[in-house]
Each structure stands twice: as C-alpha cells, then as structure tokens.
Chains A and B, each alone.
Chain A
Amino acid sequence: MTALRYAVSDAGVLAVRSLKRIPRQPDLLTGYTIQPVMFVLLFVYVFGGAIQTPGYEDYADFLLPGIIVQTMAFGGFVTALGLSEDLRKGLVDRFRSLPMARSAVLTGRTFADIALNALSLAVMIAVGLVVGFAFSSSPLEVVAGIGLMLLIGYAFSWIFAFIGLIVSSPESANAFGFILIFPLTFASSAFVPPESMPDWLQTFAADINPFSTMVDAARALFVGGPAGNDVWGATLWCLGLIAVFSTLAVHRYRRAVTR
C-alpha cells in the first residue's frame, strides 16, 4: 500500500521536475507550439490545393486529425532525450541509489509528456479552427477524441522511454526516433488518402499501419468520418503499446548504469 503511494508521489516529484524545465528551455517549448503550428500552415496552404480528399469539403478537415496524431506520436520524444541525458550525466545512478519507486523516473517523465501534449493539442486545434477546420461530431465525441489523442501520446512516450534507455547518446535517440517513426506517419492515412498511393504501399497504409487506425479514429471522433472499428482498434493498439513498452523500459531501467 505504501509502495503504491510512494510510486505515485515519487512519479509526481519527477513529473514536476520534467515540467519545470520546459519554460527554462525555450527551444523545447518551440518544439511543442510553434513547430506543430508551422506544420499545419504549411500543409494546408502548400499541399492543400493539390491533394484530393474525397468526402471532405476542406483539406483542413482531413489534415488536422492526421497532423495531431503525428504530433502526439512525437511528443514523447523529450522523454528519450531526457532519459538518455540522465544516463549520461549520472543522474540515473543517483536515482537508483535512492529509496524511491523503481518506476518513478519513467512514469514521471511520461506523465509530464501528457501535459506537454495537451499544450500542443490546444495550440493545434486553435490554429486549425483559424485555417478552416471545424468539428462536425458531437461534443462527447470531441472529448473522447481528445482523450484518445492523449492516450496515443502516452503510448508513444513509453516507446521513446525504451529508446532513450537503449541508445548511447541523445543524438542517437534523435536518429532512432526519426528513422523509426517518421516514415510510419507518412506512409499512413494522415496526410493523403491511401487510395492515391501505389498498390503495395496502399495495402500497408490502409490495412496494416496502426498509425492509420489511429488517424482514422481521430477523424471519426472529430469530423465524423467513417468509424468502423477504428476507435476501438486505436485504443487497443495504445493499451498494447503501453503494456509492452512500459515493461521493457522498466526492465531496462533496473539494469541501467551510467555510461
């Protein structure tokens, strides 16, 4: 019982630690606010005119759910950077010598990511509304959609936590994240309809890539796109990713030593 209480309070202490650094590292803040805004504007105004999205009046309606999912997926990136830096600077040694919960360093960081993702989400929705996006689902669905977006972000935070613990430097965490996740987000239904892709890619983008499931779920909840089983599928994917990667990351953390 006390173990659980400490697990929560220790994670809280470390989440606060992670959040405090946000305003102190302006480049980080930029990554969560200006960058997604830039992406929305570039896609809407540069590609918007050229991309056909049958069934959507406005490209902004098609794009915003996709770009939100992509941003959520990368939100946990600071966790990889931060953990890899904690390892390098010896902080992980200090934490591991303290009588704190073994999970707290990781849950603290992933919790802090939720707050950051919420910030990005708010900024993107605001900008989306300005450039022509409109919710066309029930308020309840919008709320559920926001919850699902944060869940997606949380799941990817655990993937990044694991990456941060296995790579040898923040720089390789960077490379790892980009090579692994960036292509996945593009070979999906996030930015263009998969029907416009070559057959082999279309199969992957439409039927296999879990990213598309998440994006389609976001569309269903935000603009009332065809839902099918996407919302449940996306939720299951997230829970599965969290289960697998939190286990892997905690296991790895227990044995981690400063390099």
Chain B
Amino acid sequence: MDGGGSNHGAPPSNRPAIETEGLCKSYKDVQALRSVDLRVEPGTVLGLLGPNGAGKTTAVRILTTLLPPTGGSARVAGLDVVADAAALRAKIGLAGQYAAVDENLTGTENLEMVGRLYHIGRAESRGRARELLERFDLTDAGERLVRTYSGGMRRRLDLAAALVARPPVLFLDEPTTGLDPRSRIGLWETIEDRVAAGTTVLLTTQYLDEADRLADRIAVIDHGSVIAEGSSDDLKGRLGGERLEVTLEDRSQAEAGVTALSEICREPPSVEDGIVRVPVRRHQGVIAEAVRRLDAEGVGIDDIVVRRPTLDDVFLTLTGRPPEPEDGDQEQATGEHAIEREPIG
C-alpha cells in the first residue's frame, strides 16, 4: 500500500485480528446470531462452517461494518466495528456471497475502480489490477465487459477486487461456491499465499473439505450459535473421520469381512444389511488395501466406497439431529460421490 506502509497483517502484537463477544443480531422475527464469540489470531484462517441460514453471512456483514449488531461487540484489526467503522474499512477486504462487480465495466476497470476507492493511487491500482487478473486467469478477459463473463469468471473477479488493496484482514463469504474445480484450487492457493504473507482470513463455507484445507480453526455455526470450535483435527476426531463402506456380495461373509479389515480400522467396524462400515484414518490407497485383504480372505465385494464426514455427520454428532436448512436456495444436495468433495448442508 502506498502511504499506508507494508507492515500489514500486524495488528498490535498478540491482539486477535478478529474478536467478537456475545455478538447478537436479530431481524424483526429472526434471531440470526445468538451470542457468538469468535477469536482469530493474526495471520491465521478461521473457517465458519454451517448450513444455509446458519448466520454466516450475517456475521460477515457485521464484521465488515455493513450491519450494526443488535448486541455484543466485535473488533477487527483492533478497531470496533461500530465506533471505528470508517477507519476499519481501510483494513478489510470483502468478497460477498454473490459476485459484486459492475457489468458495464471491463475486468480491468472494475479492479482499478476498487483500487482508487481504497485510495491506493491510480498507478498502483493499475499495477495491482494487472497482477490480479493474471493470478485469477483473467488476463485475456481483462479488457472485455464483465457482462460477457461466465459466473465463475465474475466470482474470480470479485475475489480479486477484495484483494486489490492487500488488506490485512479478509472476509470471504462462500468464496468457492459456483467455481469449477480448477478455479477452486487456484483460489485456495491465492488465499494460502495471502495468509503466508500475514493476512488474517475469515471464510465461510458449507464444505468441510474447504475448511479442512484452508482453516487453522473451524467454528461450526447453526441457528446463529457456534456449536463447535476447534482445529480441523479436533473436529474430525469428534466426527469419526472417514469411513470405508463395503457392500458384500454375500451377507453371510460379514464376519470374515470384519476380520479381514480389522487391521486397517481406527475403531471397530460396524455391520448392517451386508454393509461393513470401517472408520479409517485418511490416507491414500485405503481402497486398494481393503480390496487386497478381502480378496485374500475370499470375501466377495459388491461395492466399495470411501465416505468423508459431511456436515450432516457433524450435525448428527454435535446436535443429535440432521441440519434443517430453511431456505428457498437450491443448495447442492448431499450426495454419495464419496471420493469427490461432498457439499454439506
């Protein structure tokens, strides 16, 4: 940042970059947030994980000064989101849930405009725009009007806009929803770069694998309350991690199947309707290993699949009930594409 110095990402030492205390927000008849306490250390990533309607966007809006809280307090980069809102805006970047870009400007013009509005200067804005377009694979489209962009391209441009001023604290609301796998990985790498450079990130997601990959800590939110908080390993420990599901050709071989797989289990397997469920540690080659062992014991396999824990599992484990998204949005259904990432919620 010109003028602003490059000592970014360093709020006064040991102060959390984001801190909320008893944060509440109620709309007329909905309590969107009920006393949320969060703490994000500088230079780390918090994943706010929850189904549709959990209150993720509301939290992001309050922390980015767009909405006043109805109770509690929040500080970002050491600044109060209400009292110091004006000063705070210079220190944050926001990519909202839906791409907020001007259709009638080109990609380059969009980024330059945002840079100018962060007051980083004309030349600097131009340089950053070029750099970010390249980073997000939009160089060729940079001089085209955004109304000709695909949904994924708009999304990427929107994220680039959040990064133009290299703000020390970034808020990303479901940043990869609607992105193809390649762009998703590109975005993850960009976020990791920013974090390595000292940026603090709060990202919301409905995808456990995204939180797993990026977040140092994960807060699971449901109906406006944080129902679990910890590192990815902490949570996975509570969830039971991945399971291998083997459908047997012959139900009567269940006993033999369990014996064959006992050595790759983390916990004792369960058997139900000819399906053996085996909690495993995540590692490559577990399917091959299992097939080899079952084959050696002469156990016939009808189907074999690795299932990752889904948010449904989180909810089942944490609340004893499945999540109930209240919504009109068409969220991707939780599917059985076990090896693929599973949408949750």
Contacts and interface: CB of A to CB of B under 8 A. Distances in A.
Contact of A257 (B66, B92, B103): B66
Interface in B73-111: 86-87, 89-90, 92, 94, 96-105, 109
A99 B100 contact: no
Interface string B112-155: 01101111000000000000000000000000010000000000
A24 B66 contact: no
A90 B98 contact: yes
Nearest to B103: A89
B105 A21 contact: yes
Given A6-B119, A17-B102, A94 B65 contact: no
Nearest to B104: A21
Interface residues of A, number: 24
Interface string A77-99: 00000000000011101111111
Secondary structure at the A interface, as helix, strand, loop or mixed, is: helix
B8 interface: no
B308 to A, nearest CB: 32
B67 interface: yes
B310 interface: no
Contacts of B89: 97-100
A93 B117 CA distance: 14
B99 A90 contact: yes
B105 A94 contact: no
Nearest to A105: B117
Nearest to B145: A24
B201 interface: no
A20 interface: yes
A99 B92 CA distance: 9
A25 interface: yes
A98 B104 contact: no
A143 interface: no
Contacts of B87: 99
A258 B64 CA distance: 14
B49 interface: no
Contacts of B94: 93-94, 97
Interface in A7-34: 9-10, 13-14, 17, 20-21, 24-25
B104 A25 contact: yes
B184 interface: no
A16 to B, nearest CB: 8
Contact of A20 (B86, B90, B97, B109): B109
Contact of A10 (B61, B117, B145): B117
Contact of B104 (A6, A24, A94, A100): A24
A91 B90 contact: no
Contacts of A25: 104
A90 B96 contact: yes
A217 to B, nearest CB: 35
A128 B195 CA distance: 63
Contacts, number: 73
Given A98-B118, A99-B86, A99-B89, A89 B67 contact: no
B114 A94 contact: yes
A242 B118 CA distance: 28
B145 A94 contact: no
A13 B120 CA distance: 13
A91 B98 CA distance: 10
B161 interface: yes
A187 to B, nearest CB: 36
Contacts of B104: 20-21, 24-25
A14 B61 CA distance: 23
Contact of B66 (A10, A93, A100): A93
A96 B96 CA distance: 12
For B64, B109, B119, B161, the residue with the greatest tally of chain A CB atoms inside 10 Å of its CB is: B119
A99 B66 contact: no
B61 A257 contact: yes
Contacts of A100: 89, 117-119
Nearest to A94: B100
A257 B33 CA distance: 17
A82 to B, nearest CB: 9
B65 A97 contact: yes
Interface in B265-324: none
Contacts of B64: 97
18 contacts: A13-B116, A13-B117, A17-B109, A24-B145, A89-B100, A90-B98, A94-B114, A94-B161, A96-B65, A97-B64, A97-B65, A97-B66, A97-B92, A97-B94, A98-B114, A99-B89, A99-B90, A99-B117
Interface of B: 61, 64-67, 86-87, 89-90, 92, 94, 96-105, 109, 113-114, 116-119, 145, 161
Q: Give me the 7 closest cross-chain CB pairs, A-B, nearest first.
A: A21-B104, A90-B100, A99-B90, A99-B89, A94-B100, A100-B117, A97-B94
Given A10-B117, A91-B102, 8 more contacts: A20-B109, A21-B102, A89-B100, A93-B66, A97-B89, A99-B89, A99-B118, A258-B100
